[in-house]
Amino acid sequence: MTWALWFAIGGSLLVLMALSGSVLSNKPVSTAMLYLGAGVVAGPLALGLAAPAWQDHSRLLEHLTEVIVLLSLFNSGLKMSVGLHERRWLPPLRLALVSMVVTVLLVTAAGVWLLGLPLGVAVLLGGILAPTDPVLATEVQLESLEDRDQLRFALTGEGGLNDGTAFPVVMLGLGLMGAHEIGAWGWRWVAVDVVWASAIGLAMGGALGTAIGRLVLWLRSRHQAAEGYENFLALGLVGLSYGLAVVAHGYGFLAVFAAGLALRHAERRTADAEMTHAVMSFNEQLDRVGEMVGVVVLGLLLASVPWVPAALWFVPLALLVVRPLSVWVGLAGSRTSTLQRRLIGWFGIRGIGSLYYLSYALNHGLPPEFAPILVGLTVAVVVSSILVHGLSVTPLMALYRRQRHRRDL
pLDDT, one tens digit per residue, over 350-380 is: 889 999 999 999 999 999 999 999 999 999 9
Can you give the pLDDT at residue 21? 59
- Look at residue 51 and give its three-state secondary structure: coil
Contact 58, 359 (CB under 8 A): yes
Can you give the pLDDT at residue 138? 66
Structural domain boundaries in the chain = 10-17+28-408
Q: Which CATH number fits domain 10-17+28-408: 3.20.20.70, 2.40.10.340, 1.20.1530.20, 2.70.240.10?
A: 1.20.1530.20
Can you give the pLDDT at residue 222? 65
Pick from 57-66, 83-92, 324-333: least confident: 83-92
Can you give the pLDDT at residue 76? 85
pTM for the full predicted model: 0.93
- Is residue 207 pLDDT above 60, yes or no? yes
Highest mean pLDDT among 5-14, 191-200, 264-273: 191-200
The pLDDT confidence band at residue 285, using thresholds 50, 70 and 90, is confident
The pLDDT confidence band at residue 160, using thresholds 50, 70 and 90, is confident
- Is residue 269 pLDDT above 70, yes or no? no
Contact 379, 298 (CB under 8 A): yes
Can you give the pLDDT at residue 67? 92
- Is residue 226 pLDDT above 60, yes or no? no
Compute the C-alpha angle 307/309/313, nearest 5°: 125
**Residue 345: which of 332, 354, 356 has the closest Cα?**
332
